[in-house]
């Protein structure tokens, strides 16, 4: 039986932003409008007053930041919405980059006062590279910030993408009255309400309608008319194909914390966002409409429920139908596996599912069989591409502070590395563990989780390395010679691939010049081609 109807119903997207732009708050409000939750907590002043639904790790609650990707699913207007809420902090960018391999589109949240920030530009680079369609939500209109037209110019210049506003704010800060939906030609006025939905919808087919004066006042009416006229003259009409091709980004305005503009965003998203797309493998592109099941693991999380010490692999389904208690092929391990308790998510809340379709993200209880990037399918020997490890920027040696807890430390560090929190490099002699990350905060998270989830204490001692490069050559003698000459800089990653830990850019260049038969790779993805 064809899955086409199920595929067309699904929208799988990620929410990305610079820290504190309101990403997690917007996620909650989408759940609120979708009926998945009854009331929302507020993230304010970087402290969570009432814990955000998608922030479930204890360290996230304490610091008021998202450090792990959360997966949430709900139905809205006959559409199956799958949200992947990502970390905003730059130290956890690699987790966000991997998550972007599992989505079909993105909502990018921008703070009206701060505009485009550094992390936003980096995230957008990845979206452009992967040709991911993007919708932009300009948030916090209940506060004063940059003028709307200035923001649109900034988006185009800094993010290198054309924009088309589909909603428009009426006022800002204390004068913020609501949003005009350019796409649907209606006006939505809200009363500030942080916990539940309160809307007043007016259909305005003609902005010259005298009713506008009564609704928003003479001054606001005049400004709105002038600004909409200017938009028509400056920006192209929305073109769906250009959006799907990632050439243009629709823009919405609102205040997530006060429910301004969220419903316009959600309704239009369901209408225009792409249904599940295919994915490339080392053999060919796998299409959602292909009859045989396939999927890939893009995230692993241990201790999602601290009471049960569970370990869950997050699997994005690419093709076919996943069925409970059915044997599937684990390509890397070359063995058959079946799953009795596959789950769908609403943050911490999990429910067992009987089947799932392309675009869905499901959780598979795992006893250590999965690693990030693993492929699961109905028997063919292909591997999904595009889920690499990146070369870390900070390196530290792990020191065990309690030898009596060595087993707990070993288990904890292995599970955290499987999650992709950081990368582990083993050096000999002495089986020394070097941890590599893209940000300092990751070491804080690792230390906290090792102590509170595994009962193991450690210390991190800085190591002076510039870059980790995966090395490969089809000439074994050359590799052995290199290993001998660079012994103190050679390590194995968790999958026992050879890694060269270069101390400076100069020494890396010298190594590349002296050993032309060896290829030096900044990501681990090269393994799919060799």
Res 366: pLDDT: 85
Given this model, what pLDDT does residue 58 score? 53
Last residue of a domain, one of 272, 296, 312: 272
Q: Give yes or no for a contact between 168 and 234, defined as CB atoms under 8 angstroms apart.
A: no
Q: Say which residue the tokens 């990502």 belong to.
A: 86
Task: Kindly state whether residue 97 falls inside one of the protein's structural domains.
Answer: no
1 is a domain residue: no
Q: Position of tokens 């957008």?
A: 124
504-518 as b/e, with b when 16 or more CB fall inside 10 Å? eeeebeebeeebeeb
- Which of these three, 344, 377, 410, is where a domain ends? 377
349 and 266 within one domain = no
Same domain membership, residue 170 and residue 213: yes
DSSP string, 356-376: E-TT-EEEEE-SS---TT-EE
Do both 264 and 292 map to the same domain?
A: no
Contact, 171 vs 143, CB < 8 A? Answer: no
**Averaged pLDDT, groups of 10, the chain, 530 residues long:** 84 88 86 73 36 46 46 87 72 69 94 89 83 95 93 95 94 85 81 56 74 84 92 93 96 89 90 95 94 92 58 91 96 93 69 91 87 90 79 90 91 83 88 87 86 90 93 92 93 90 93 93 58
Residue 418 lies inside a defined structural domain of this protein = yes
User: What is the count of structural domains for the chain?
Assistant: 3
Q: What is the token pair recorded at 270?
A: 């369901």
353 inside domain:
yes
- 424 in the same domain as 445: yes
Does residue 95 sit within a domain? Answer: no
Query: Same structural domain for residues 108 and 208?
Result: yes
Report the run of H or E that residue 165 belongs to, with start and end: strand 162-165
Domain for residue 256, yes or no?
yes
37 and 167 together in one domain: yes
Range of the domain at 444: 394-528
Cβ–Cβ < 8 Å for 256, 262: yes
In CATH, what number is assigned to the domain containing residue 285? 3.40.50.300
Q: Is residue 389 part of a domain?
A: no
pLDDT of residue 511: 94
Residue 516 DSSP symbol? T
Do 108 and 22 share a structural domain?
yes
Instruction: Return the pLDDT at 127.
Output: 87
The pTM is what? 0.78
List 203's β-bridge partners, or say none.
186
194 and 283 in a common domain? no
Here the CATH number for the domain that contains residue 413 is 3.30.70.3280
* Domain-embedded: residue 133: yes
Q: Which strands sit side by side in the sheet containing 467-472, from one edge to the other?
A: 458-463, 394-400, 432-437, 423-427, 490-493, 498-502, 467-472, 519-521
Closest CA to 130 of 390, 391, 386: 386
The answer to whether 425 and 432 have CB atoms below 8 angstroms apart is: no
The verdict on 412 and 297 lying in the same domain is no
pLDDT of amino acid 192: 59
Q: Is residue 268 domain-shared with residue 287, that is, in the same domain?
A: no
Query: How much is the pLDDT for 43?
Result: 34
Mark which of 250, 272, 294 sits at the end of a domain.
272
Do 415 and 349 belong together in one domain?
Answer: no
232 and 363 share one domain? no
The whole-angstrom separation of Cα 57 and Cα 75 is 25
């Amino acid at each position: 039986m064809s899955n086409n109807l199920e595929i067309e119903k699904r929208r799988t997207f990620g929410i990305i932003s610079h820290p504190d732009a309101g990403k997690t708050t917007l996620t909650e409000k989408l759940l609120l409008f979708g009926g998945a939750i009854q009331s929302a907590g507020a993230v304010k002043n970087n402290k969570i007053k009432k814990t955000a639904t998608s922030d479930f790790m204890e360290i996230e609650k304490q610091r008021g930041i998202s450090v792990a990707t959360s997966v949430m699913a709900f139905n809205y207007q006959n559409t199956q919405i799958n949200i992947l809420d990502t970390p905003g902090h730059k130290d956890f960018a690699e987790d966000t980059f991997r998550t972007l391999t599992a989505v079909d589109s993105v909502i990018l949240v921008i703070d009206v006062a701060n505009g485009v920030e550094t992390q936003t530009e980096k995230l957008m680079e990845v979206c452009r590279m992967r040709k991911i369609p993007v919708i932009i939500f300009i948030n916090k209109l209940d506060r004063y910030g940059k003028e709307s037209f200035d923001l649109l110019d900034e988006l185009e210049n800094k993010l290198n993408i054309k924009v088309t506003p589909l909603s428009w704010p009426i006022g800002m800060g204390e004068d913020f009255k609501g949003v005009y939906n350019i796409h649907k030609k209606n006006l939505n006025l809200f009363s500030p309400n942080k916990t539940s939905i309160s809307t007043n919808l007016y259909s305005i087919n003609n902005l010259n309608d005298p009713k506008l004066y009564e609704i928003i006042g003479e001054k606001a009416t005049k400004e709105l008319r002038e600004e909409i006229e200017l938009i028509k003259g400056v920006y192209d009409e929305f073109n769906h194909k250009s959006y799907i091709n990632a050439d243009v980004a629709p823009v919405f305005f609102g205040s997530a914390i006060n429910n301004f503009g969220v419903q316009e965003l959600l309704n239009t998203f369901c209408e225009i966002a792409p249904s599940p797309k295919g994915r490339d493998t080392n053999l060919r592109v796998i299409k959602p409409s292909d009859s045989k099941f396939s999927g890939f693991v893009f995230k692993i999380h241990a201790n999602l429920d601290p009471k049960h010490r569970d370990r869950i692999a997050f699997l994005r389904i690419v093709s076919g139908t996943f069925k409970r208690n059915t044997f599937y092929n684990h390509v890397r391990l070359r063995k058959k596996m079946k799953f009795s308790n596959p789950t769908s998510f609403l943050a911490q809340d999990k429910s067992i599912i009987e089947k799932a379709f392309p675009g869905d993200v499901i959780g598979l209880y795992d006893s250590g069989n999965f690693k990030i990037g693993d492929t699961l399918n109905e028997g063919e020997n292909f591997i999904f591409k595009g889920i690499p490890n990146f070369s870390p920027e900070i390196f530290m040696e792990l020191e065990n502070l309690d030898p009596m807890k060595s087993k707990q430390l070993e288990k904890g560090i292995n599970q955290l590395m499987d999650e992709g929190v950081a990368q582990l490099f083993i050096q000999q002699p002495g089986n020394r563990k070097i941890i590599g990350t893209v940000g300092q905060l990751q070491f804080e998270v690792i230390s906290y989780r090792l102590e509170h989830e595994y009962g193991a204490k450690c210390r991190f001692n800085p190591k002076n390395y510039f870059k980790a490069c995966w090395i490969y050559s089809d000439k074994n003698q050359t590799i052995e010679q290199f290993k001998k000459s660079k012994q103190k800089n050679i390590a194995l990653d968790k999958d026992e691939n050879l890694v060269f830990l270069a101390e400076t850019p100069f020494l890396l260049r010298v190594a590349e010049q002296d050993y032309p038969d060896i290829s030096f790779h900044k990501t681990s993805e090269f393994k799919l081609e060799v």
